[in-house]
Structure 1
Amino acid sequence: MHKYLEVLTELEGLLGRAPFRQGEKLPSIRELARRHGCSMATAIRALAELERRHLVYSVPGSGYYAVGAARPEPSDSAGLVDFASSSPDPAMFPYLDFRHCINKAIDTYKNDLFIYGTPSGLETLMPAFRKQLAEYQVFADASRLVVVSGVQQALSLLAAFPFPNGRTRVLVEQPGYHLFIEYLETHGIPAAGIRRTADGIDMDELEAIFRTGEIKFFYTMPRFHNPLGSSYDRRRKLDILELARRYDVYVVEDDYLADFETDSKEDPIYAYDRDERVIYLKSYSKIIFPGLRVGLAVLPSTMAAAFNRHKKLNDIDSSLLSQAALEIYFRSGMFERHRRKLRDLYARRSRRLQDALRAAAEESAGLFSYPGGGQRPAFHSHLVLHRPVSPSKLRERIRRDSVELDRIERHYLKDYPRQALLNLSVTRVKEEDIERGVERLASAIRYAAR
């Protein structure tokens, strides 16, 4: 990360978390330069950017001071604790940075952004995509990359168009991504389910399903599963890939939270693929904001042209303005700075939630458990209920206690047996509210189990 962006990130963090009230002094220019090993001119540039945003003001000969109170307001004990929402926190959207990138994109590309583009995406964006994908051990020629209007568009296209194996049935993890499940059922696309838990999937069951010769592709979220939060280990990824190769099944890997990985040794299934058996999907909805509507699909060379044809008929092309702004966002270093900030934020929230769930489970007298296996800090976690719980009683108590929960049933195919689970997300929950929310949830479960 550029030194200027390091200084800017530190100052933003101070203004967002430290007890800075209106008129309180920030670290001096000399101190910032010393901390980051940069010139005082670099530190001044970062402070000037914050001054331009009206977050700080300067006093000649004295230094820089906070404009207003940036300390988080005390949480209202009666306020809503939202464990249901899995969309990113709007308070963390990079509005100012991205507005600059949009304006710069319009100035740079002018009329090129306001005509039809190409279905595969903005040509000048591809090198930036390839560079970023390489960080995740995803290597592919530009001819295999296709920009999509979010991962949902990629999934709908993949479910609809013919694959080289000539099959039509889609296998999905249960529970799984609710919008894709809803798409399959709405459009009458043949689908089957395989149970997934915190420990993964049963490989014997997977092989038995693959062996039928009906499966077109297996849709999976190996990393930070939605809604469970668990991840596959390396052995499981290799076993899935080997079975896919043996039975001529494709693997559609949804790596939607790759940017939140904290372990550099954790690679996607795609990294082990030598036979172009894996279709890799990457989203930018969680790391930037959902309204960007830019995602990426990495296709086998035998399927890229057909996918492009289907995409062209679907929407002609994805927003060139969004793509051009994203290219500038990458090249400027703003993306990397934002990614680090968000990754640290959600990791802190997730660890705090996991600790609270673990403690609550230990005190539940066997009423529920927290299966921590395979759960690294990200967005989602879940509890397993061990005694019958009245759904109506649980909803009644949860509403009364101002806690919002997701409906786990929407993550299942209609006819698939459902597990007794409660899934939780931390994206919209303040850190200081997490323990209070878990206490209320545990109380609601005890009430509903009477």
Structure 2
Amino acid sequence: MEETQLNRSLGFWSALALVIGTVIGSGIFFKQASVLQMTGSTNLALMAWLLGGIITLADGLTLSEIGAQIPHTGGLYHYMTHIYGEFWGFLSGWMQIIVYAPAIVGSIAGYLGLLVTNFFGLGAGWKAPIAIGTITLIALLNMLANRYGAAFAIVTTICKLLPIAAIIIFGLFFGHEQALGATVAGIHQSVGNFGVAVLGTIFAYDGWILITNLGGEIKRPEKLLPLAIILGILLIIILYVGVTFGIFRSLSANRINALGQNATAYFALNAFGPLGGRLVNIGIMISIIGALNGKIMTFPRIYYAMAAKKQLPFSKQLGHLNRHTQTPVVATLTLLVLTSIMILVVDTDRLSELCIFVMYSFYIAAFIGVFVLRRRNGGKPTGFSIPLYPFVPIVAIIGTGFVVVSELFFDFTGTAISIIFIALGIPLYYWLKHHYRNDGSVTKL
């Protein structure tokens, strides 16, 4: 009987929609005020969004060279395994599947539940059921053939671009405020605050790396994966800076500062009226649903990739692909169950924050891996080549290092807890290695 394998059917537009759709959630609509508050002026706020985007683009360019050489399912897990060995690959995957994936999905779903309850005037008790119900429906969709999840990504990405375009166009052509050179009264500008603002924008750009988890399902990944990552990040930079400029053109700096996270909702109500304001809010909810779809589609591929290498308990089940849909149904169900439990019993926002230090440390290791791979290949890349090498990967390493150092200083307790999470995986790795040492069979990814 022929072995079931992942379906390599995703084209460029699906990959691009997943990059954009997974990154753009709620941050683009709610972070303008916080970045402005940190920087104290519209000029520095726009610069923070641009600098965060440039660092993210350097990250994407750097990882594109690795992804073109290692176009396999599992993304970062596979890259770490290939470059540094199975021990470090396991730890990078372990942190993602046991904490980061369910926590980040739970955090976004919980926020969606809050928005929906507020929008329809429901009680707070509906937040968790709405969150779990939403991720259940999206998980069921992604148990079908991957083309359905990809099509949903394209549709939700188009839908989320509509309110974004409306904000940008209104600000450019109908805004009357001074978008450049405006300052917030009473806020002192400092390098330290600017650094914190850039840090916030980098988090808003995060998520693009998840497309690499689908390396085994993208057509011609050595070409399309780098193209989707680079164009996706470039478009996101334009959209983030455009929305920020549009809001700055429509509301005064002091008004944005006073409104805080409500600045976009206030803008929508004043710009488009009550109906238009509600439509923008619906667009924001669709944006979040699209981000959830991208994460629920991509994260289970890490479970599957690790199970295929016999690096998880119940590897046979987690590495199973449905014969008809060619998708990792059990892995998707596992993510759904873990996420639902986290939504009900823990603070998913805090859990996702705890993972930042370790996750970005693995990012740095992957970026350094570009130099390792080039040395192995005689100093030349195979496939996609990073422009302005080695300047671009150095920018990626420094920018990501800034995130790691910031987490170490601002959240030392969280950093220590995240290291403990990682350490818990070490005995599991050696137990699994002993358990499966006589079974050399692995699934072809």
Pairwise same-fold verdict (TM > 0.5): no
User: What TM bracket, shorter-length normalisation?
Assistant: under 0.3
**Higher Cα Rg: structure 1 or 2?**
1
Higher RCO structure (Cα 8 Å, ≥6 apart): 2
TM-score between both structures, scaled by the size of structure 2: 0.26
Which has a greater percent of helix?
Answer: 2
